[in-house]
Amino acid sequence: MSLQPSSPAEVPSQTAAVARAAFPRGNPCLRLRDELGTVFTEAQFTALFSARGRPAEAPWRLALVTVLQFAENLSDRRAAEAARGRIDWTYLLSLDLTDPGFDASVLCEFRSRLVAGHAETLLLDTLLALCRERWLLVARGRQRTDSTHVLGAVRSLNRLGCACRPQYRPDRRLAVG
């Protein structure tokens, strides 16, 4: 997968009109886009992609989908469906109404690239910095940290435990009493 440089996408006018009609009083995704813009930039992810190969889905979009996926506790498949079918997500991601979306496996590949490139904290750090710039967060001396690497380690240990667990063998029965 290669990263093809492109400029930050503007929300297509037709998408904006439909989103404003659907949510006349606003929506968290619409406000996020209006207040913070695209949040992430492609330049933040260039080290994670090669210079050659098939063009990748825009990483700033995948990063936003990952954040929304976490916020709404969605599976990869549900998040990909939401990016394709929900107008508020379409607006936030600057997608055209006719955009076919992406396969759910792209999210897993993106997260794998983040972990392999030691960029697990990139999403949280970017959001925190942007919120600090806009005075949405005030420093109090302590902040919670991203638990992505902890969850990844637990998942790895769980998989390792499943792989190393002795299999049940019916020819060996436990003697009781």
Closest by CA to 122, choosing from 37, 30, 52, 59, is: 59
pLDDT at 24 over 60: yes
Say how far apart CA 172 and CA 174 lie, in whole Å. 7
C-alpha dist (Å) from residue 99 to 28, 81, 86, 95, 153 = 22, 12, 12, 6, 35
Would 56 be classed as within a structural domain? yes
Would 8 be classed as within a structural domain? no
pLDDT at 147 over 70: no
- Residue type for position 100: P
pLDDT at 138 over 80: no
Average the pLDDT over 102-111 and give the result.
90
Whole-model pTM: value is 0.71
Structural domain of residue 38, as residue ranges? 13-164
